[in-house]
């Protein structure tokens, strides 16, 4: 190789290692876009460090909606929502472009916070293969918001979500108690859906109908890590009539619900099937069986169930003799 060609190759390798270059290429080979509030500290400098692409499409956007308009389906694009970012949705925010990865940056209270303020679904995942990762949902800004997240497309992933299903919030000089009707809804068409590391909580008063609701038949649902505590109106996890879960795998669910005669899980569509492994369910219904219903052909291993809300009762490994 000539000295000139060696010099060119060296410069190319140098640029490939440049952090600015790397920040503009997603892990799937697409473009990276950023969401950052214009009022955020250092916004102007941030824009300079992340200039528009060669076709004049901006790399930095001040709202998630603006960023959603910049991505291309199935190109491998990624949208990074910067830590501390906040947005309020008064209508459903639709993730309709297929194959886009949405990532919230930060941890703890720095994770981007999305407030649903209205009788609407907060984030509607409608594009196939969308990934939605690391966001939190505060108490809704209006009572009986429909859901935090609604999924109806195939091959999607929702993970690392923290949400408050209900509670009291202060709006100006007024105090109001609001709730989501269901925290996460899964509807027909959401085959091959993955739901991992979800943490939800509710408080007495205005309570959600459920933490997780299956509203249509889905196949190959996979979930590892679903943690929910608090009072509910119906059950911790429910399905609608005919909302079959086929070929599904559930692991590491920890659900403890309050309220009078409320089961932790009621998946009672008889044609459902799958595996349930390493889980704990605590409800307030009358028997072990009714506190964790898995109708159909669910194969269970290391599943513990408690039929009391207090701390004096140890969960029983199912199946077990239930004398009451």
- The reported pLDDT for the residue numbered 16 is 42
SS3 289: helix
What structural domains does the chain harbor?
A: 30-317 (2.160.20)
Query: Once rounded to an integer, what is the mean pLDDT over residues 42-62?
Result: 95
Least confident of 61-70, 90-99, 310-319: 310-319
Label residue 4 by pLDDT band (50, 70, 90): low
Residue 239 buriedness (CB in 10 A; 0-12 / 13-18 / 19+)? buried
Query: Once rounded to an integer, what is the mean pLDDT over residues 264-290?
Result: 93
- The reported pLDDT for the residue numbered 111 is 98
How confident is the model over 173-216, as pLDDT tens digits?
A: 778 899 999 999 999 999 999 999 999 999 877 899 999 999 99
Whether the Cβ atoms of residue 156 and residue 125 lie closer than 8 Å to each other: yes
Phi then psi for residue 47, to 5 deg, are -65, -40
Residues contacting residue 133 through CB under 8 Å, at least 6 positions apart:
101, 102, 103, 104, 157, 158, 159, 160
Least confident of 10-14, 103-107, 313-317: 10-14
Label residue 100 by pLDDT band (50, 70, 90): very high
How confident is the model over 208-255, as pLDDT tens digits?
A: 999 999 999 999 999 999 999 999 999 999 999 889 999 999 999 999
How confident is the model over 66-79, as pLDDT tens digits?
A: 999 999 999 999 99
Q: What is the dihedral angle through the alpha carbons of 128, 134, 135, 139, rounded to the nearest 10 degrees? A: 120
Give me the percent of the chain exceeding a pLDDT of 70. Answer: 89
Query: Once rounded to an integer, what is the mean pLDDT over residues 301-310?
Result: 85
- The reported pLDDT for the residue numbered 174 is 77
Which of 146-155, 239-248, 279-288 ranks highest by mean pLDDT? Answer: 146-155
How confident is the model over 16-29, as pLDDT tens digits?
A: 444 454 567 667 78
Least confident of 5-14, 203-212, 311-320: 5-14
Label residue 5 by pLDDT band (50, 70, 90): low
- The reported pLDDT for the residue numbered 17 is 40
Query: Once rounded to an integer, what is the mean pLDDT over residues 263-276?
Result: 95
Q: Is the pLDDT of residue 15 over 60?
A: no
pLDDT averaged over every residue in the chain: 90
Give me the percent of the chain exceeding a pLDDT of 90. Answer: 78
Assess whether the previous peptide bond of 217 is cis (omega < 30° from 0). Answer: no
Distance set, CA 20 to CA 12, 98, 103, 267 (Å): 14, 26, 18, 48
């Amino acid at each position: 190789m000539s000295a000139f060609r060696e010099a060119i190759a060296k410069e190319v390798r140098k640029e490939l290692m440049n952090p600015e270059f790397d920040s503009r290429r997603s892990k799937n080979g697409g473009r990276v876009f950023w969401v950052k509030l214009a009022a955020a500290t250092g916004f102007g400098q941030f824009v300079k460090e992340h200039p528009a692409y060669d076709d004049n499409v901006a790399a930095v956007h001040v709202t998630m909606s603006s960023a959603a308009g910049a991505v291309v389906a199935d190109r491998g694009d990624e949208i990074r929502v910067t830590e501390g970012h906040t947005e309020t949705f008064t209508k459903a925010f639709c993730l309709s472009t297929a194959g886009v990865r949405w990532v919230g940056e930060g941890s703890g209270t720095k994770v981007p916070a999305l407030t649903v303020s209205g009788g609407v679904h907060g984030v509607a995942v409608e594009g196939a293969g969308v990934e939605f990762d690391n966001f939190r949902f505060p108490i809704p800004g209006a009572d009986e918001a429909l859901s935090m997240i609604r999924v109806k497309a195939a091959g999607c992933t929702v993970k690392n979500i923290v949400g408050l299903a209900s509670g009291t919030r202060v709006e100006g000089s007024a105090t109001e108690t609001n709730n989501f009707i269901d925290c996460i809804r899964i509807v027909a068409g959401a085959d091959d859906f993955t739901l991992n590391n979800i943490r939800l909580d509710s408080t007495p008063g205005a309570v959600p109908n459920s933490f997780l609701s299956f509203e249509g038949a889905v196949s190959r649902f996979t979930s590892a890590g679903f943690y929910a505590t608090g009072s509910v109106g119906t059950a911790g996890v429910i399905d609608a009539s005919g909302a079959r879960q086929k070929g599904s795998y559930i692991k590491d669910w920890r659900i403890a619900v309050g309220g009078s005669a409320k089961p932790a899980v009621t998946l009672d569509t008889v044609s459902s099937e799958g595996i349930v492994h390493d889980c704990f369910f605590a409800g307030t219904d009358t028997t072990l069986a009714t506190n964790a219903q898995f109708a159909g052909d669910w194969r269970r291993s290391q599943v513990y169930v408690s039929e009391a809300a207090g701390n004096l009762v140890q969960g029983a490994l199912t199946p077990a003799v239930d004398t009451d």
